[in-house]
Homo-oligomer: A and B are copies of this chain.
Amino acid sequence: MGEDKFDTSPEWVDGETKALEAPGDHRAELRLWLRLLTCSTLVESEIRRRLREEFDSTLPRFDLMAQLERAPDGMVLGEVSKRMMVSPGNITVLVERLTESGHLNRTTLPTDRRVQIIALTPFGRAEFEKMAARHADWISDLFAGLSAKEGGVLMDELAKLKRSVIASLARNA
């Protein structure tokens, strides 16, 4: 453990630690990635479970409605796809179902008939607001063991990670 790049707490483990690493030793990064993945998996499955139990809904549907909530005039399909970081074909299916169930309506832009615009119906908005309130409570409870300060540190470190990942993606593009 002592030879990991990202060793935990003890600050007295100095820079020499690095020199002890075998070339290509990526254990620290792997452990960090695994922990990150575990955290988000735990939270995500709990949210999915509760959305299903309390609202007979799913996370993708919730996410789609969340994107639409702050766009009273609707949003173009492609824009939704980008924001949700999922494939366009995926959006097609989700929108189909949510339109059938009366949560969304879709319009073809008159000036460019390739473009589909979707928006929440009043019913969809009301349903979403119920779910969003409960969702916020669930997250709050799941994160309750973190103090404000700890949460702030986590926010900052995740921001750095995000930058690191985006930089790597750009490098390898």
Contacts and interface: CB of A to CB of B under 8 A. Distances in A.
Interface of A: 5-9, 17-18, 24, 26, 28-33, 35-46, 85, 133, 136-137, 139-146, 148, 150-169, 171-172
B136 A160 contact: no
Number of copies of this chain that the complex holds:
2
Contacts of A143: 29, 32-33, 161, 164-165
Given A45-B85, A46-B169, A166-B42, A29 B148 contact: no
A42 B85 CA distance: 9
Contacts of A32: 143, 151, 154-155, 158
A156 B149 CA distance: 13
